[in-house]
Amino acid sequence: MVHENSAVKHPDRNLAMELVRATEAAAIRAVPFIGKGDKNAADGAAVDAMRAFLGTVNFEGLVVIGEGEKDNAPMLFNGEKVGTGRGPACDIAVDPIDGTSLTAAGRQNAISVIAVSDKDTMLDASSVYYMNKLVAGPEGVGVVDIRKPIAENIRAIAKAKGKTVDEVIVAVLDRPRHAELIEEIRATGAGTRLLLDGDVAGGIHAARYGSRIDLCVGVGGSPEGVVTTCAVKGLGGVVQGILHPMSDDERARGEAAGLKFDHVYEMDELVASDNTIFVATGVTDGGLLEGVRRKGPIIKTHSIAIRSKSGTIREVFAEYNANRWL
């Protein structure tokens, strides 16, 4: 008789390195489209590569956060099963390119991302696209609170980190909706880092020890909030989110799906598991990761793998034979 052990039922440490191969593949396939102006072509190439590699990984993955609904996304759609079907049962969130418009424009900070947690633990917030988020590192735990005014949170994180307020840097997506928030941040004397796109990287930056970014705040994608939580659980930081519907219809859809409004989602509500894996590979250069580089016959990639169970952060540098890839 074979006894079931927890390693069979839960994502394990070997899975992280298997998943890195899938983000590496997606990032490499996107390279020919960097700066070429066609974000859909870049995304399509990355999706194809990631899906192909995920099919070889020994796990039973259910895509909770993917490329969209089945009708609109040919693969990696919400609800799709990925992996060999053998091994741990997991929820999976994928973003083959977080920052497709950055890639198409040749701008910085595009990454390829996969996040995994135990089965039935990721919040499915797909019916409400936007979420107001706050992310900070370990010093922010029990110190910052999304319910408080931003000025109060800036002063609190400065005190916790032993900084003056004018040394604090806050990352915010550069959107018209944030004009007032950006003014409030600057009025305290703190500085801003305006993100063109891709608030997953911004959130991880804010949560990493020794980073120059102290907080990441503002309204971004709800799926990205869940993905960021998988990473930040491994970094010991804090994520809070409040759903931000853009219309009464969207709010009604969210309520029908069981989502809560005017409610602060804490980390364990966003991802109800302490066994999370987050992996990402740089597509274009950024503060978190270097982009894919081609030098003669060699392609170089830079990835990160974060596992909450062990609190391990691995940086992975790989070299590929360009002739086999591009």
Please report, for the chain, the start and end positions of each structural domain, with discontinuous segments joined by +: 6-119+276-324, 130-270
**Separation between Cα atoms, residue 32 and residue 11, nearest integer Å:** 33
Q: Which CATH code, of 3.40.190.90, 3.30.70.2190, 3.30.2320.50, 3.40.50.300, is assigned to 130-270?
A: 3.40.190.90
Secondary structure in 3-state letters for 235-253: HCCEEEEEECCCCHHHHHH
Residue 191 has what pLDDT?
98
Which spans in 122-238 are helix H? 150-161, 179-187, 199-207, 222-235
- The number of residues in the chain equals 326
**Separation between Cα atoms, residue 158 and residue 191, nearest integer Å:** 12
* CATH no. of 6-119+276-324: 3.30.540.10
pLDDT along the chain (326 residues), means of 10: 47 86 97 94 95 95 88 84 94 94 93 97 94 98 98 98 98 96 98 91 93 96 96 97 97 96 98 97 94 95 96 96 86
pTM for the predicted model, two decimal places: 0.93
Structure token digits, residue 29 = 């396939």
Residue 9 has what pLDDT?
61
3-state secondary structure of 49: helix
